[in-house]
Amino acid sequence: MSQAPPLTPTFTYAELFPAGSVLAPKTGLAQMRWVDFSEFRVDYATGAPLPVLGEMTLICHRNMLTPAIRAFYQSAGIRLRGTHRVYSTHAEAMQLARDCQMQGSRLAYLYSLPDEIVNGDRLVVAARLYDWLNDKANINLLCESRHLPEHVLLAPDERAAIADVLPQRAIFVKVCHPGVSGGGTDVRFCPDQASRQSALVWLATRPSGWSAIRVEEAVEVRESWCLNLAVSENGDVRYLGAAAQLFSSPAMQSGSRIDPQNQPAAATIALATEIARKAAALDFVGVAGFDMGETRDGKALVFDLNFRLAACTPQILLHESATHRIGGKISQTWGRQLPGPLAPALAALEQFARSGQFVPMRFYESTEAPGDASRMNGMLVARTQGEIDELQAAVDAAVDAATGGR
């Protein structure tokens, strides 16, 4: 079987973060603010940087880098460089992070870090600034109101008012708090009055420590993107690209697609750049992903400002090389979760990886821990959306056949 040429990211994380910094994505469920999620999901987040790491040090769970996973990356044309410091337990991860700090390295991170690491002080972005920038209550201080959907900020003890604000409209209820949340876990779509009442019940299940409740009109948009930008230590802002967001339901993202024929307008990119410059002036350094949309009449709107690496960042950095090497144009994410070992699924995926039609971005080998599961994430590459759909069906069928539809 012929093999596609090696992949070359447009930029690596080593080029986008200060020299000598270490990526330390490991944290705890409390810092991620995820409720009823298995612990292994925290570990799974640590492997996201692998295919675009470059010559950088990463602290990640050992199940993200088994010999079989390393071999699969190799067969797909991804050269794993940098230094991989692997852990098995939370305590080991925290010790590795502290060791890096004691050796003079600064830590870059994804979700807010436990106090034991924050107290080490050597961070690429100060914890207090990171938490402030990622608090949805502060979006108004970074973006002019004309670029925001109509919204109301309520104090946490004013939650009952959700039933009455922006009446007769579909809304999103967003829990605001210092730090990062992800996966739409702190957002609730309310299309009618009954769902607003359900949102009040849902709010009671959310972790404490809110700064506000953001009640926002659910505006219809032509497209919603995650625009990625990098901010250097000297304050320079670089636009990296954008991926269109795919949703399984309102506010619940299921993946992303990059199509050169469907990209944000220059004015939308300029708005994102302006916001990133404001963050740079506050000493933010690193990569940010802004959730933005355009209405059918071309108005740019900001929905969320994520001052962290985004789920689509590796796709954006790999897209140009991945499409160019096989004559494709479009990339679209693909992922699966299954109980049991990865080996059968990896064997089924190898033909697609060698041909360049599937680009692996993250794998996790399951363990015997309760709730644990193997996970696979990558992107499909083809010339047209029709070919992407056919490829997805073929990949799903191959994995189902190999795993018995697990």
Poorest-pLDDT segment among 48-57, 204-213, 278-287: 204-213
Rounded to a whole number, what is the largest CA-CA distance in the chain? 63
- CATH number, domain 221-306: 3.30.470.20
Residues contacting residue 18 through CB under 8 Å, at least 6 positions apart: 106, 124, 233, 285
Neighbours of 237 (CB within 10 A): 18
Using pLDDT thresholds of 50, 70 and 90, give the confidence band for residue 32: confident
CA distance 21 to 7: 24
Residue 281 has pLDDT above 70, yes or no: yes
Q: Indicate yes or no: pTM above 0.85.
A: yes
Domain boundaries, the chain: 13-128+311-399, 150-217, 221-306
**With contact defined as beta carbons under 8 Å apart, do 347 and 402 qualify?**
yes
Paired with 189 in beta bridges are 172
Residues contacting residue 200 through CB under 8 Å, at least 6 positions apart: 159, 160, 162, 163
Residue 37 has pLDDT above 80, yes or no: no
Report the topology of domain 150-217.
Dna Ligase; domain 1 (3.30.1490)
How much is the average pLDDT of 217-244? 97
Residue 293 has a pLDDT of: 96
* 221-306 shares the fold of 150-217: no
Using pLDDT thresholds of 50, 70 and 90, give the confidence band for residue 238: very high
How much is the average pLDDT of 323-331? 97
Render pLDDT for 89-121 as a digit per residue (tens, 0 to 9): 999 999 999 999 999 999 999 988 888 888 767
**With contact defined as beta carbons under 8 Å apart, do 94 and 59 qualify?**
no
Render pLDDT for 13-30 as a digit per residue (tens, 0 to 9): 999 999 999 999 998 888
CA distance 305 to 290: 5
Sign, CA dihedral 272-25-40-128, equals: negative
